[in-house]
Amino acid sequence: MEIKANALIMSLCDEMFERKSGYGGRNWPPHWKKKTREKLVAAGLVESKGHEPKVGEVYYFTEVGLSWYLGLRPERKR
């Protein structure tokens, strides 16, 4: 599945990349809808590491997803 890099997807990926922790323990913001997460998972850009106690569902970039993201945001490379 191909993901179009629109403003919503990129803002969500930016927030996930920065790992903002103000969302009740989850590493995705409340406005990150379930369908958006499912699209990113289906495209192979992120994966779920499952539920962690007192944290909830935890998502990480896959290697492909991180390469995709950094290709669109080269200023984030460290």
Question: Is the distance from CB of 46 to CB of 37 less than 8 angstroms?
Answer: yes
- In this structure, is residue 37 part of a structural domain? yes
Q: What are phi and psi of 53, to 5 degrees?
A: -55, 135
Q: Counting every residue, how long is the chain? A: 78
- The amino acid at 69: Y
Instruction: Give the residue, 45 or 15, on which the prediction is more confident.
Output: 45
- In this structure, is residue 1 part of a structural domain? no
- In this structure, is residue 2 part of a structural domain? no
Closest by alpha carbon to 69, among 1, 31, 29, 15?
Answer: 15
pLDDT score, position 70: 92
pLDDT score, position 72: 92
pLDDT score, position 27: 62
Provide the residue range defining the domain that includes 54.
7-76
Summarised one tens digit per residue, pLDDT across range 21-66 is 555 556 666 667 778 888 888 999 988 877 766 666 777 888 999 9
DSSP 8-state assignment for residue 45: S
Instruction: Give the residue, 21 or 10, on which the prediction is more confident.
Output: 10
Count the domains in the chain.
Answer: 1
Q: What are phi and psi of 71, to 5 degrees?
A: -65, -30
pLDDT score, position 71: 93
For the domain that residue 33 is a member of, what is the CATH number? Answer: 1.10.10
